[in-house]
Structure 1
Amino acid sequence: MTTSAPNPSGSKGAVRRGNAPAEFSSRLLDNVVHVHPLTTTLMFGPVVAVCVYFALGRAGGWALLGWAAAGYLAWTLSEYWGHRVVLHWEPEQGFGARLHWLLHGVHHEYPQDARRSILSPILSVPMVGGAVYLSSGLGSLPLTFGAGYTVGYLSYDLFHLYLHHARPKNRLLRHLRELHMRHHFRDDTRGFGISAPYWDELFGTSIARRQGNSPT
């Protein structure tokens, strides 16, 4: 099985209209690496339901809500650092370059391709699975931590898709869309918190800042 060459346009930051070509000669493998938005919802929605079901009765209501909020907060940090460190790790050649293209480079080149706007299961499954395992396998955290983390992930994925395909009229949503479009079309070394841009403010990578201010 072969994959397409990283960045086939030959120039970093090029943007193409429409959907990206298949990454693999195997259609099945291509559909595993890049999934439809409905697929990721069907995959992880039941995870939230199962976590909440088994968490009920293990602690008081406020404790369960507290762990769910902690799980959501943990996701927002995963979103920021995963986007900044993992998805924007950009080797020039070899396996690393191909992996970057599969996980995120293709999204920057084909930003309107809905399947490339959804985080690949190569990353989402281990991340969500790890959070749920931490919640249950060690016995130290209620399962609502995993539920909150999974809700955070799904919210991020669908919100990211929304920012690429919608024209929001709400002032806040328009602002968030503008920040993300700046990340795509102005400076991809900033603006990593898509659903949680406050981490960019905290860690010095806000895309709303002047160009003279370098990220930390």
Structure 2
Amino acid sequence: MTFKELVVAYFQYPAIIAYLVLSVVSFGVWLWQPATLAQTVVSLAVAVMAYPLAWYLLHRWVLHSQWMYKVKILSPVWKRIHYDHHQDPNHLEVLFGSLSTTLPTIVVILAPIGWLIGGIGGAAAAVGAGLLTTCFYEFCHCVQHLKYKPRNKWLAQMKARHMAHHFHDESGNFGITNFFWDKVFGTFYERPDRKEKSETVFNLGYTPETAERYPWVAELSGGVATGHPTQRAKD
């Protein structure tokens, strides 16, 4: 895949278009009820700086949770927002986060912070920053999952670490572009650090045995797929 093809695939996804449109709306709200320059800068900075930590916490303790699939009403959400992605990490349709869950999360976390800093204008600035940061994260996520070999050393390094999360051991490397919080919480690793491959790297612990007790994800998925995604595609 060329860089141009990567960019085309990225901008074709509806959620990305929605994030960009809503970021323009956020800017319009800021123009309508502007915060001061200092309040705006602080709101933007807090939103951008808080994003890696928020992503880490959500990724580790929600997306990789062992509780969502046990609740019938939450099992379809868990299946869509992360189980399907780990079942087939390179499948474009489930590569991006679900708009129905990602957008409310951005607003719920960042709008109150921005409002406390600078009222409506601060909230608009923080939400807009969160939306654009999400676009950046999703672009890096595309680089990591699609058949594109980055020339940039930093992107190549991020891709290797994220691919280890998906194909070797899902219990670490929860960051996308920033592994600072993985290092803080002790979940960062380089591929050679862990000799043994996780048996649950593709199913996140939702095994056929687990499905017998909590069947809802399996019912929605037509069963529980096992083994490497490329091998399943050949069968």
TM-score by length of 1: 0.71
Kindly indicate which of the two structures has a greater share of residues assigned to helix. Answer: 2
Aligned with 2:99 (options 115, 118, 121) = 121
Aligned with 1:169 (options 146, 151, 157) = 151
Percent of residue pairs bearing the same amino acid type: 22
**Letter aligned with residue 66 of structure 1:** V
Asked if the contact 1:167–1:174 (Cα under 8 Å) also holds between the matched residues in 2, the reply is: yes
Which structure 2 residues correspond to residues 31-180 of structure 1 after superposition, within 5 A?
Answer: 38-56=13-31, 57-60=34-37, 62-91=38-67, 95=72, 97-131=75-109, 133-134=111-112, 135-136=114-115, 139=119, 142=122, 143-165=124-146, 166-180=148-162
Q: Secondary structure at the match of 2:149?
A: coil
Distance change >3 Å, CA 80–CA 49, structure 1 → 2: same
Asked if the contact 1:132–1:147 (Cα under 8 Å) also holds between the matched residues in 2, the reply is: no
Q: Look up the match of 2:186.
A: 204
Give 1:40 shift: 0.9
Q: Provide the C-alpha distance between the structure 2 equivalents of 1:173 and 1:185, rounded to a whole number of angstroms.
A: 18
CA deviation string 1:183-212 (max 9, x = no partner) = 011110001011221111122110228349
Which structure 2 residues correspond to residues 184-203 of structure 1 after superposition, within 5 A?
Answer: 184-203=166-185
Give 1:93 shift: 5.1
Aligned residues: 176
Asked if the contact 1:191–1:206 (Cα under 8 Å) also holds between the matched residues in 2, the reply is: yes
Q: Secondary structure at the match of 2:132?
A: helix
Between 192-201 and 131-140, the greater mean CA deviation after superposition: 131-140
**Letter aligned with residue 145 of structure 2:** H
CA deviation string 1:17-41 (max 9, x = no partner) = xxxxxxxxxxxxxxxxxxx952112
**Letter aligned with residue 68 of structure 1:** L
For structure 2, the residue ranges without an aligned partner over 5 or more in a row are 1-10, 196-235
Distance change >3 Å, CA 46–CA 94, structure 1 → 2: closer
Give 1:74 shift: 1.9
Asked if the contact 1:90–1:100 (Cα under 8 Å) also holds between the matched residues in 2, the reply is: no
Give 1:90 shift: 2.9
Q: Secondary structure at the match of 1:139?
A: helix
Q: Provide the C-alpha distance between the structure 1 equivalents of 2:17 and 2:174, rounded to a whole number of angstroms.
A: 26
Asked if the contact 1:72–1:150 (Cα under 8 Å) also holds between the matched residues in 2, the reply is: no
Asked if the contact 2:35–2:120 (Cα under 8 Å) also holds between the matched residues in 1, the reply is: no
Q: Secondary structure at the match of 2:13?
A: helix
RMSD, aligned α-carbons:
2.6
Between 92-101 and 140-149, the greater mean CA deviation after superposition: 92-101
TM-score by length of 2: 0.66
Q: Provide the C-alpha distance between the structure 1 equivalents of 2:149 and 2:140, rounded to a whole number of angstroms.
A: 12
Asked if the contact 1:87–1:104 (Cα under 8 Å) also holds between the matched residues in 2, the reply is: yes
Between 115-124 and 92-101, the greater mean CA deviation after superposition: 92-101
Asked if the contact 2:56–2:174 (Cα under 8 Å) also holds between the matched residues in 1, the reply is: yes
For structure 1, the residue ranges without an aligned partner over 5 or more in a row are 1-35
Q: 2:161 matched to 1:183?
A: no
Asked if the contact 2:175–2:182 (Cα under 8 Å) also holds between the matched residues in 1, the reply is: yes
